[in-house]
Structure 1
Amino acid sequence: MRYALAGLLFATAPFGAEAQEATFTTGLATEINPGLFDCGPGTRASAVGEIKSDDGTVWTVPAATNYGTAPFATDLFNECGGDRLDSLAELDLDSVPIMDAGGSEQFTAYVFADNYFELYVNGTLIAVDPVPFTKFNSNVVRFTADRPVTLAIMMADWEENLGLGSEDNRGKAFHPGDGGLVAHIQDANGATVAITDDSWRAQTFYTSPLNDRGCLVVDGHSRDSSACSQEGVDDATGYSAAHWAVPSDWMMPSFDDSIWPAAVTFSNETVGVNNKKAFTNFEDIFDTPGANADFIWSSNLVLDNLVLLRKTAD
């Protein structure tokens, strides 16, 4: 089944879908949008593309999004025309809009995403990242909900080489980038409700670039690209991408995420945020003593480009 979202076409899986084999595309996608957002000179364009797989399915890369149709998360640090706070102490929390995810209890989520996120709470989309690619930014989102709170986050590691999960970087025309998400969710009293750690579930839906399809190991709901090369190249002729259809109910509290692998944690150093003010200005909330949030992703921080994350907190 395919349907349109925010003007883009992408594949979805029906309710109760069994484990899927990968569907493959080869080469570059066709650009359908030159950029969701323009941050000016020296930044990378958040372009969107479409590509047809071997079985005829049309895929949107790096992701079909709700950018431009859903509310933007409030800035903590945004060099692309937004607020740039020096610390959490400068945040006027009362000025942050409260999004309605049902219920009456108030919560606050602090988020740093590499690159783009969409946040669902109890099945309701409440905020999206205002900066899809670069420069790196961080955000705060307030919302009302009832417990248990199901947090579902779509993460996309953006790309310049559409369909091949890579960018011109480190002296190579096709260099795969990496992703990562760190978040801390608190209640109205400032008590921790959830932090990103290995108790979350993470599933991959787009992996690229692949210089050899045989390196990808799919076993049930495990989609393991750890044996695939992460080396940047100047010629990606013949390189592939693997895609899986996104379940249409993946964000709902009723979705059974026990079939997904556990999220894998990564250090601040591995993700490379120690020189990014969007993170370091707010280490007191992301690396809170006693509630130190980890960066999380699927098992492959570099090649897995569209990752869905879930956690239900009491």
Structure 2
Amino acid sequence: MTACKNGQNSKKTTPENLEIYKGTASVTQGPATVLTENIFECDRGREAPIGISTATDGSEWTVPAEVNFTDDSFPFASDLFNPCTKVEYASADEALAALDGTDIIEVDSDGEVVTAYVFADNYFEMYINGVAVGKDNVPFTQFNSNIVRFKVKIPFTIAMKLVDWEENSGLGSEANRGQAFHPGDGGMVAVFKDAKGEIIATTDANWKAQTYYTAPLRDLSCASEEGTLRLSETCSTEDSNDGTSYYALHWKKPTNWQSADFDDSEWPKATEFTNNTIGVDNKPAYTNFIDVFDNSAADAQFIWSTNVVLDNEVLVRYTVE
């Protein structure tokens, strides 16, 4: 269903407000114009809108991100645990046994099959050497986890788009805890195994992570940049019942960020977050697979940019040697 819904700002952006922001992002204020009310229906799931925010410099930004969820040419990942489809496996072995091989995406014809296990809050798109190999089955909630299988030669480069979705389009927030504007958190964890079942990569601080959409910000002065770091750690993350005048920051993504030869050397390192910080103890999409994600010999870490609450679109990369 599509609809136009123009946001009404309770406070106007002024030159004085903009002057206090010294970063490289485009600045928007207030709600986005909603283009699609909900791109996915799920029982007891939140609506996942797509909107357009217009910045003070005239640029337009798709929020929370430009995604390929409705693009049939971009393959869906396989379900590991998905309350929306009612495909809920009790173990990774059970989920693998249900696959018939048609899910495997060929990157290299003479490569080996690599299996990735992914839990993303909320949404991911994965590329291997620039080839689209799998996208999340659920853009927002309920919380789910996925398997992605692809055939590739080592070394190979993983590139992922990560999105923390929003109910309040353009304002990086949702209704929660009795408040209309709650800035929810993100987080992604993944484990990659070779054809022998050996772990060849896990998410950790050795990955690179860059931020491209930060919201909501009550005050532009709290945001700063240090080199390529886009920082918001001093910004408020408190809930509110009136966030319609809050700001958002948007950065343009490189056109070839998915490719193996993209130079990410200047990107910041990913930040690690604990299971407790992300809050997965009550989510069977994660807890059913502790033996995979929290393997005693190779414990995968939740990663994101520096701010797991306010940064809503993050690109991450890692090369498996």
Task: Give me the TM-score of the superposition, normalised by structure 1.
Answer: 0.91
State the match for 2:67 in structure 1: 65
For 2:221, what is the secondary structure of its paired residue? helix
**Deviation of 1:102 (Å):** 2.4
Q: What displacement does 1:307 show?
A: 0.4
Q: CA deviation at 1:106?
A: 1.3
**Which residue among 15, 21, 24 is the counterpart of 2:24?**
21
Residue 95 of structure 1 corresponds to 100
Q: Deviations over 1:161-200 (max 9, x none)?
A: 0001000001111010000000000100011111000000
Deviation, structure 1 residue 238: 2.2
- State the secondary structure of the residue aligned to 2:88: coil
Q: Which piece of structure 1 moves more, 112-121 or 247-256?
A: 247-256
- Is residue 2:265 matched to residue 1:258? yes
2:122 is matched with 115
Selected match of 1:32 from 31, 35, 41: 35
**What is the root-mean-square deviation in Å for CA atoms of aligned residues?**
1.1
CA distance in 2, matches of 1:229, 1:30: 25
- Which residues of 2 match residues 143-292 of structure 1 at below 5 A? 143-292=150-299
Shift of 1:119: 0.3
Whole-Å separation in 1 of the counterparts to 2:107 and 2:54: 36
Question: CA deviation digits over 1:200-256, x for unaligned, max 9?
Answer: 000000000000011000122110000100001111142100000010111111111
Unaligned runs of 5+ in 2: 1-22
Q: Which moved more, 1:246-255 or 1:96-105?
A: 96-105
What is the identity, as a one-letter code, of the residue corresponding to 2:106? D
- The one-letter code of the counterpart of 2:93 is A
Higher mean Cα deviation, 110-119 or 64-73?
Answer: 64-73
Is residue 75–residue 82 contact of structure 1 (8 Å, CA) maintained in 2? no
Give the secondary structure class of the aligned counterpart of 1:119.
Answer: strand
CA shift for structure 1 position 82:
4.0
Q: Give the distance between the partners of 2:30 and 2:63, measured in 1 at CA.
A: 12
Runs in 1 of length 4+ with deviation above 4 angstroms?
none
Give the letter aligned to residue 66 of structure 1.
N
Which stretch of structure 1 is more off in the superposition, 67-76 or 195-204?
67-76
Give yes or no for contact 1:215–1:228 (8 Å, CA) kept in 2.
Answer: yes
Structure 1 Cα separation of the partners of residues 58 and 269 of structure 2: 31
C-alpha contact 2:171 2:244 (8 A) present in aligned 1: no
Match of 1:136 in 2: 143
Q: Which deviates more, 185-194 or 86-95?
A: 86-95
2:79 and 2:95 in contact (8 A); partners too: no
Q: So what's the TM-score if we normalise by structure 2?
A: 0.89
**Take 1:24 and 1:157, find their aligned partners in 2: how far apart are those partners?**
19
- Give the structure 1 partner of residue 17 of structure 2: none
Structure 1: runs of 5+ lacking an equivalent: 1-19
Matching residue of 2:53:
51
